[in-house]
Amino acid sequence: MSLFNSLKNDNLETWHSYTKHEFVQGLGNGKLPIASFKKYLVQDYLFLIEFARAYALGVYKSTDLTQMRKCLSSAKGILDTEMGLHIRLCESWGLSEADIVATPEDPANLAYTRYVLDTAMKGDMLDLKVALAPCAIGYGEIGAALALQEGALSAQNPYAEWIREYSSDEYQELAADAVKEIDELGALYATEARYVQLSRVFREATRLEANFWQMGLEL
C-alpha cells in the first residue's frame, strides 16, 4: 500500500470528519449559508499566502534540483495565478481585495498554517508534504465526490463553480501528483519507526483542515 493510502486509512475517522464535514455537504447541496462561504473565501485567500511560504520553504528543504523546481513552481503558481483567480472569485461574491487583505487571520487559520510551517521548519521534505497533503489531496477528493452528487453542478447551486474547480481534470492531476510525490519520498525516507510520527502529522493537519471548515460555519 502507498504511504499516502496508509496514512489516510490509519486515520480514516479524522479524514472523514474533514472530507464529509457539514460545510462540505452544504457546498454539495447548495444549502451552505452565503455568509459562511464568504468568510471561508476571505480566510482561504489569507491561507494561500502562508501556503506559498510553505512551498518556498520546500525549496530550501529540497535535496535535489528536481524537488527545488517543483516547490518553486508551486509557490509561483499560488502567487502568480491562484491568488489572482481567488481575488476574482471573491469579487464575484462582492468581496473587494482591500477588504480581504484588511481582514485578520482567524484563529483556526493561524493554527493550521503555522502548524504546517512549524512542521516543515523542524522536519524534512517528507514532513512538509505530509502536512500539506490534507489540503492538496483532500480538496481533490472532496471535489470529485461532490461533482457526483445530483444537482451539485446545476445552475441552481451557487457553489457549482467551486466544485467544478476542484473536480476538474487539472486539479485531479495535481492531487494525483501530490500522492505520487509522497509515495516516492516515503519509499526513500519512511521507516517503520518514523511512520508513527508521520501519521501524527497527517492526523493533526487533517484535524486542522476540519476546523477550517468549522470556522466558516461559526458566524
- pLDDT for 5-35, tens place per residue? 999 999 999 999 999 999 999 999 999 999 9
Catalytic option among 141, 181, 204, 209? 209
For residues 148-154, give the mean pLDDT.
Answer: 98
Average pLDDT of every residue of the chain: 96
181 as an active site residue: the answer is no
For residues 158-172, b (16+ Cβ closer than 10 Å) or e, as one string?
A: ebbebbeebbeeebb
pTM of the model: 0.95
Q: Give me the residue spans of the domains in the chain.
A: 3-217
55-59: Cβ within 8 A, 24+ apart: 57/117, 57/120, 57/121, 57/128, 58/120, 58/125, 58/128, 58/129
| 179, 141 contact by CB (below 8 A) | no
Query: Over the stretch 207-216, which tens digit does the pLDDT of each residue have?
Result: 999 999 999 9
| 164, 153 contact by CB (below 8 A) | yes
91 as an active site residue: the answer is no
- DSSP single-letter state for residue 154: S
Question: What CATH architecture applies to the domain 3-217?
Answer: Up-down Bundle (1.20)
Catalytic option among 135, 141, 181, 204? 135
